[in-house]
Amino acid sequence: MPPLCGLLSVTQMNHLVPQASVIGTPTTDPDDYFDPETHPGTEACEWNEHSYISFGHGATIRTRPVKAGQAKDPMGPAHEDFDRLRQAAAVAGPQNSRSAPSPLTGVSDEAFVYDQTTGEAEFRQYDAIVVLRTRNLLTEVRYRWAKKGVSPPEGITGLRQGAIQISQWIAAALLAGRPVTS
């Protein structure tokens, strides 16, 4: 299978991230479920409208394979990790607000979506986040808008639709084991 960034084309991403450019792998926190240093096999790819996150649209896709436990079947542990991520998504931190996670059908084996707003009144980042499980692979898709003093032009609903679209593209590509353009 191609690297994660190779599963989506610039043409696809330009529909949601104007003048999209891949800027590589985003930084993570060691406590993050998708941290590549703590969890080998984790991949990430970031697309931005500009060469930095502080302006315009962007998308981050992160995957982590779940290994089999003692039962030798990775689906059980993957489902358990998916449930833990859903429970964690329901808790807003001190610097953000979140909508409750909503189940999402038709994307993958299991999926949910929620919205998050971080920052202060003068500069806020708006994220629509989809977490999906495709067999034993967990994926997080973040579609975001960040611009000083400006709300997303498509609104939160539009951001959510964009995150769902990217999730559908990436789920199809992961199942096919190659880029899928439709």
For the domain that residue 16 is a member of, what is the CATH number? 3.40.1000
Top-confidence range, 24-38, 63-77, 99-113: 99-113
Is the residue at 182 inside a domain?
no
**Averaged confidence pLDDT in the chain:** 84
pLDDT above 80: residue 31 = no
Is the residue at 181 inside a domain?
no
DSSP 112-157: EEEEEEEEETTEEEEEEEEEEEETTEEEEEEEEEE-TT---TTHHH
The C-alpha atoms of residue 117 and residue 137 are separated, in whole angstroms, by: 26
Contact, 17 vs 59, CB < 8 A?
A: yes
The C-alpha atoms of residue 109 and residue 95 are separated, in whole angstroms, by: 32
Domain interval for residue 99: 4-176
Domain total of the chain: 1
CA distances from 127 to 52, 109, 135, 158 (A): 16, 23, 25, 11
